[in-house]
């Protein structure tokens, strides 16, 4: 159990054994249920063939509007394995040194970057310069400055930059957002986000400051940051934070173990959140308003998400997150569809601005003002 993704897979039911349900079509999601899709298909190459890259590749086998056609890796054996497993042509396989040549490959529309956080900036900018759209796994980068450089590079190249915010397409999450927008909770007062697990292998890249840009906050705490924003429906204007470190040998300088942080919003709503690499049994969101509440646990795991509100249990069917994400991103890229919650590069930069402020608040002990 060396990674967040391994943990979440065991914490919840494996998405692999829960069937994709194409018949469920909430109004905010693309409807493929009435007839087979016959339009343009988004042709995707995945850069970074680790555990999450494999999860995305597996989920894409059920996509209606996106297809895995390429692979990029520094490990030749993985490329061979993916060619066989996913029927990928050899001409669509690249390594980290030569993948700029995708600019000459008309069979690839977009590259999904799933590499360590500190490599996102270089890889996305190279993808943009090759004239391809980019999807980047979150966090977008290791700080807001680098994230903005990625946004600017994609704009200059006239390509889209999207971020792998799979929860922005998750049906139960979208139902809570709908209820909040429709005023069913009344004035929102409070949000709680608990994000964490006990991380394993101390030598993995997620505990390497140079590759990860931090620790738990970059990996798992970002879910509570992003969740606070889309659940409350506002952008925070201040943050306070407190860091706790019980194992400095495992969590070295610049690698956060546990951070509690608080966010304040223009309406007066507040959020209280926890990001940690040393506690299990978390993954919980709670939203409280004057007229009602929403509680989700698991709130961001691979599924099925479970939740209830003051009106009862959330019953929207489970949909494999990465499957619906990639189909919806095809609609965003080809049709300029506007998702309920943005997944563009600017959205990624907003989260990074908040992470930068959380780190500053934890270091100084002061309230930090925010403009995101």
- Find out whether 240 and 283 touch, Cβ atoms under 8 Å: no
Total Cβ atoms within 10 A of residue 235: 16
The CA radius of gyration of the chain, in Å to the nearest whole number, is 20
Question: Which one is catalytic: 78, 121, 138, 160?
Answer: 138
- Find out whether 336 and 127 touch, Cβ atoms under 8 Å: no
Maximum C-alpha span of the chain: 58
Query: Does 80 qualify as catalytic in the annotation?
Result: no
- DSSP-based three-state secondary structure for 124: helix
Distant-in-sequence, close-in-space partners of 121: CB < 8 Å, separation ≥ 6: 141, 142, 146, 147, 149, 150
- Find out whether 207 and 250 touch, Cβ atoms under 8 Å: yes
Q: Is the peptide bond before 139 cis (omega within 30 degrees of 0)?
A: yes
Question: Which one is catalytic: 94, 112, 165, 223?
Answer: 223
- Find out whether 214 and 66 touch, Cβ atoms under 8 Å: no
Query: Does 37 qualify as catalytic in the annotation?
Result: no
Known catalytic residues are 138, 223
């Amino acid at each position: 159990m060396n990674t967040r993704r391994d943990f979440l897979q065991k914490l919840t039911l494996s998405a692999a054994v829960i069937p994709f349900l194409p018949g469920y079509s909430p109004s905010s999601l693309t409807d493929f249920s009435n007839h087979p899709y016959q339009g343009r298909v988004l042709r995707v190459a995945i850069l970074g063939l680790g555990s999450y890259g494999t999860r995305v590749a597996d989920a894409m086998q059920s996509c209606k509007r996106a297809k895995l056609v390429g692979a990029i890796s520094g490990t030749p054996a993985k490329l061979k394995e993916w060619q066989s497993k996913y029927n990928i042509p050899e001409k669509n396989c690249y390594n980290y040194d030569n993948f700029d040549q995708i600019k000459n490959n008309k069979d690839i529309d977009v590259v999904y970057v799933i590499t360590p956080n500190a490599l996102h900036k270089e890889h996305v900018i190279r993808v943009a310069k090759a004239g391809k759209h980019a999807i980047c796994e979150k966090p977008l980068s290791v700080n807001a400055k680098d994230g903005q450089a990625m946004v600017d590079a994609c704009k200059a190249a006239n390509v889209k930059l999207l971020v792998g915010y799979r929860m922005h397409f998750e049906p139960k999450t979208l139902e809570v957002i709908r209820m909040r927008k429709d005023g069913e909770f009344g004035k929102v007062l409070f949000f709680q986000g608990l994000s964490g697990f006990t991380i394993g292998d101390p030598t993995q890249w997620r505990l390497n400051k140079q590759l990860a840009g931090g620790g738990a906050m970059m990996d798992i705490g970002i879910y509570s940051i992003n969740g606070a924003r889309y659940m409350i429906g506002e952008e925070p204007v201040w943050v306070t934070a407190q860091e706790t470190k019980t194992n400095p040998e495992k969590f070295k300088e610049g690698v956060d173990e546990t951070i509690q942080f608080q966010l304040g919003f223009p309406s007066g709503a507040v959020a209280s959140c926890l990001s940690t690499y040393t506690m299990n049994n978390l993954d919980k969101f709670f939203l409280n308003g004057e007229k009602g509440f929403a509680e989700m646990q698991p709130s961001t795991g691979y599924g099925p998400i479970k939740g209830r509100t003051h009106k009862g249990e959330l019953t929207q069917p489970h949909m494999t997150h990465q499957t619906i994400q990639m189909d919806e991103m095809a609609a965003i890229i080809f049709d300029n569809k506007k998702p309920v919650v943005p997944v563009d590069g600017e959205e990624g930069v907003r989260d990074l601005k908040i992470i930068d402020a959380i780190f500053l608040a934890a270091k100084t002990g002061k309230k930090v003002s925010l403009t995101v």
